[in-house]
């Protein structure tokens, strides 16, 4: 099950820096996770300062 980034994303990029498979992309001020690349490791969710990332 892939992770997703919610609307409360503040665009800090901390999640993208932690993703081991580069599944997180800039979406014009916020970020999005490509579910086809995500390996559901949770590294991004652990790093998010506003808890915007959760499992789908």
Q: What is the pLDDT of residues 29-40, one digit of tens each?
A: 999 999 999 999
Q: Is the pLDDT of residue 1 over 90?
A: no
Q: Please indicate, yes or no, whether the overall pTM of this predicted structure exceeds 0.85.
A: yes
Whole-angstrom Cα distance, residue 20 to residue 9?
20
Query: Is the residue at 56 inside a domain?
Result: no
Whole-angstrom Cα distance, residue 36 to residue 8?
22
Query: Is the residue at 30 inside a domain?
Result: yes
Identify any residues that bridge with 53 across adjacent strands, giving them in sequence order: 5
The Cβ of residue 19 has, within 10 Å, a number of other Cβ atoms equal to 21
**45: CATH:** 3.30.70.20
Query: Is the residue at 11 inside a domain?
Result: yes
Query: Is the residue at 22 inside a domain?
Result: yes
Rounded average pLDDT over 42-50: 97
Q: Write out the residue range of the structural domain in which residue 21 sits.
A: 3-51
Answer for the pair 53, 45: CB distance below 8 angstroms, yes or no. yes
SS3 25: strand
């Amino acid at each position: 099950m892939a992770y997703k980034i919610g609307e409360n994303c503040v665009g800090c990029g901390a999640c993208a820096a932690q993703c081991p498979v580069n599944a997180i992309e800039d979406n014009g001020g916020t970020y999005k996770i490509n579910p086809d690349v995500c390996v559901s490791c949770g590294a991004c969710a652990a790093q998010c300062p506003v808890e915007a990332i959760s499992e789908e």
